Amino acid sequence: MDNVVLDIQKLSKTFGGVQAVNNFSLKIPEGSLQSIIGPNGAGKTTIFNLITGIYKPTEGTISFNSRRIDGMETFKITEMGITRTFQNIRLFSEFSVLDNVRTACHMRSDYSVFEGLIPTPRRNRQERAVTDYAMNLLKLVNLDDRANEYADNLPYGHQRRLEIARALALEPKLLLLDEPAAGMNPDETQKLIEFIAEIRTKFNLTILLIEHHMEVVMGLADYITVIDFGKIIATGTPVEVQSNPIVIEAYLGVGE
Amino acid sequence: MSPYLQGILILAGINVLAVLGLSLLTGFTGSFCFGQAGFLTIGAYVATLLTMELHVPFAVALLGGALFSALVSIPLGLPTLKLKGDYFAIATLGFAEATRLIVENLEKITGGSRGIPGIPTKTSLPIVLVLAVVASICIRFYVVSRHGRNCVAIREDETAAQAIGINTFRYKQISFFINAALAGLAGGLLSHYVGFIQPAMFGIQKSTELIVMVIFGGMHSVTGAILAAIILTALPEVLRAAAAWRLVAYGAVVVLIMVTRPQGLLGNWELSRESLMAIWNGLKSRFSKKAVGVDHG
């Protein structure tokens, strides 16, 4: 097996009396695209919030490249190379498309707070480099012609792509996508699947994808973990999972 | 220039300094600060005591007041900047009131509620103008820097800001620090202009007045805050003819603007070469259209 990028061991999270995640373990090898699927409220987003430090685990450990990250602050985990998108898109709506990406480039420049107050040639040089980098990235995701529009004014599918582009600006090693196809029609979904496959190779990414819709992960994922009520109920390749009777019963629903 | 007009301009300049940081902290970073008077108090008293007790040069006194005020923001920010929304506003309100009461009770040093009379009036219009202009330019540059973008990201969506690796707490601290420094500077200038300070000058109405300026001018515009500070300082003077009714009229103007333009006077418009060019081009095309209309008529 290749290098394990993300190693989750016996992760649990309770909110009051509710067991949102229960004894969840997962290993993600470098370069793979894994998926967590499950019905609404199964605990998928909670797992993302645990990986990215928004929640602290009740029990269990999370390691990224063999370093423990559970309990770390979100921005530190991001600095280490894990970025995410959100189920309900979270763009900076008062920013232009370009500035959404430029903001995510803040680690690409290192001019000081003092140079923030009084521009120096160094600041101007770094800002120009950041703008060039952001524009190139927008070109890659076909949003460069909309660079100066407000992010809020973009169509839904474009907003999704912009949010992914913003995450890519951080040059992550591991990208977490939280239900990227939520609210999309079949046509947009198909385009999104192609887009994810494309950035995966272009950016050499390891991806963990949460989805509610089976058909999205079928064409993309190497390996699938199915959860229900915070617990793993099945694992396997897309074909294995699709034909697993437990999955069909608990998740797809019999006779629907 | 008449001393009366000069006085208004000096007060306007001091208010510009007092709202610039507030615009950054509340308008751009999204932390609603309701205790600006607290930092003004600290700046005013520290600068005054430096002048009157230690006889330091004016510049050193001003710097001392600004620095002390900024340093106070650090321990104050540690527990409070983690609070969300309204809770931070209330915490800063409490800080300002506590500061005022402490000054009132330290009678031996501050003269208590009777205040300190006879402060040398060293604040002049050129000094205030230079400081206000320089600070305005610095803040204007700051909000479009990578640091400024990070601040706006925090205001727009703190969780998303964290998720793209922004140390949100640190950036709130920086905004709070810059705000406290500028407010402290404004306090020192104020005490050396009026020649007299007492705690009653820095009550809750002072904090309200300053935050109203930021909201009135446009929360997301540095230019708006500056413009509002100038307009709202001059307005009571302009309305002087209305005698006893002038403060009612002042309130009515503020209400009218907020009802008709909830985003503030300027919204998120900023003064820049690009925005001026845009206005110029807009005017040009309007006039050329009119010219076409005349031809056809």
pLDDT tens, residue by residue, B212-248: 999 999 999 999 999 999 999 999 888 888 778 878 8
Same domain, A51 and A4: yes
List the structure tokens of B147: 């640091």
Same domain, A99 and A154: yes
SS3 B264: coil
Is the pLDDT at B296 greater than 60, yes or no? no
Q: Is residue A88 part of a domain?
A: no
Is the pLDDT at A237 greater than 60, yes or no? yes
List the structure tokens of B197: 């300070």
Span A39-44, average pLDDT: 86
Using a CB–CB cut-off of 8 Å, the residues of B that contact A are 138-139, 141-142, 145-150, 152-153, 156-157, 159-160, 162-168, 174, 220, 268
Spacing of C-alpha B45 from chain mean position? 18
Taking CA B148 as the corner, what is the angle to CA B143 and CA B153, rounded to the nearest 5 degrees? 125
Q: Is residue A86 part of a domain?
A: no
Same domain, A167 and A192: no
The C-alpha of B169 sits at a distance from chain A's nearest C-alpha, in angstroms, of 10
Interface of A with B in 220-239 (CB under 8 A): none
pLDDT tens, residue by residue, B105-125: 999 999 999 999 999 999 999
Same domain, A144 and A17: no
pLDDT confidence band for A248 (50 / 70 / 90): confident
CB distance B182 to B36 below 8 Å:
no
Same domain, A76 and A101: no
Longest dimension (CA), chain B: 81
Q: Pick the residue of A88, A90, A98, A117 with the most B CBs within 10 A to test the interface with B by mutation.
A: A117
Q: Which residue of B has its CA nearest to A118?
A: B138
SS3 A111: coil
Instruction: Report which DSSP code applies to B267.
Output: T
Is the pLDDT at B285 greater than 90, yes or no? no
Alpha helices, DSSP H only, in B55-194? 58-80, 85-105, 107-110, 125-143, 146-156, 158-163, 168-194
CB distance A63 to A25 below 8 Å:
no
For residue A144, the tally of other CB atoms under 10 A from its CB is 15
Bridge partners for A59 per DSSP: A12
Q: Which residues of A touch B149 (CB under 8 A)?
A: 95, 99, 102-103, 106
Does residue A109 belong to the interface with chain B, where contact is any CB pair within 8 Å? yes
Q: How many CA atoms lie within 13 A of B180 on its CB side?
A: 25
Span A100-114, average pLDDT: 96
CATH value at residue A226? 3.40.50.300
Does residue A151 belong to the interface with chain B, where contact is any CB pair within 8 Å? no
For residue B292, the tally of other CB atoms under 10 A from its CB is 10
Same domain, A183 and A219: yes
Task: Determine the pLDDT at residue A41.
Answer: 83
User: A145 is in which domain, residue-wise?
Assistant: 93-171
Q: Which amino acid is it at B260?
A: T
Task: Determine the pLDDT at residue B290.
Answer: 61
Q: Is residue A204 part of a domain?
A: yes
Q: Which residue has the higher pLDDT, A174 or B286?
A: A174
Across A134-143, b (16+ Cβ under 10 Å) vs e yields bbebbeebeb
Q: Which of A171, A203, A221 is the last residue of a domain?
A: A171
Helix pair B168-194, B3-22: axis angle to 10 deg: 160
Q: Is residue A120 part of a domain?
A: yes
ipTM attached to this prediction: 0.92
Same domain, A198 and A238: yes
Same domain, A163 and A134: yes
What number of C-beta contacts closer than 8 Å exist between A and B?
A: 95
B285's CB contacts (< 8 A; 6+ apart) are none
Same domain, A155 and A198: no
Is the pLDDT at A59 greater than 80, yes or no? yes
Is the pLDDT at A256 greater than 50, yes or no? no
Lowest mean pLDDT: which of A49-53, A242-246, B5-9, B94-98? A242-246
Task: Determine the pLDDT at residue B297.
Answer: 39
Q: Do A54 and B159 touch (CB under 8 A)?
A: yes
Span A124-130, average pLDDT: 97
Q: Is residue A49 part of a domain?
A: yes
Same domain, A11 and A112: no
Bridge partners for A232 per DSSP: A227
Is the pLDDT at A255 greater than 50, yes or no? no
Same domain, A181 and A57: yes
Is the pLDDT at A1 greater than 60, yes or no? no
DSSP-assigned states of every residue in B165-223: T--HHHHHHHHHHHHHHHHHHHHHHHHHHHS-B-GGGGSHHHHHHHHHHHHHH-TT-HH
Q: Which residue has the higher pLDDT, A254 or B136?
A: B136
Q: Pick the residue of B145, B147, B171, B220 with the most A CBs within 10 A to test the interface with A by mutation.
A: B145
Q: What is the percent of chain B with per-residue pLDDT over 70, rounded to a whole number?
A: 97
The span from the CA of A188 to the CA of A30, in Å, is 28
Does residue A83 belong to the interface with chain B, where contact is any CB pair within 8 Å? yes
Does residue A79 belong to the interface with chain B, where contact is any CB pair within 8 Å? yes
Does residue A159 belong to the interface with chain B, where contact is any CB pair within 8 Å? no
Does residue A173 belong to the interface with chain B, where contact is any CB pair within 8 Å? no
CB distance A230 to A21 below 8 Å:
yes
Span A196-207, average pLDDT: 94
pLDDT tens, residue by residue, A60-78: 999 999 999 998 999 999 9
Q: How many domains does chain A have?
A: 2
Q: Is residue A39 part of a domain?
A: yes
Q: Which residue of A has its CA nearest to B165?
A: A75
pLDDT confidence band for A215 (50 / 70 / 90): confident
Q: Is residue A210 part of a domain?
A: yes
Q: Which of A125, A153, A171 is the last residue of a domain?
A: A171
Instruction: Report which DSSP code applies to A250.
Output: I
Q: Is residue A77 part of a domain?
A: yes
Same domain, A197 and A214: yes
Longest dimension (CA), chain A: 68
Q: Which of A171, A201, A223 is the last residue of a domain?
A: A171
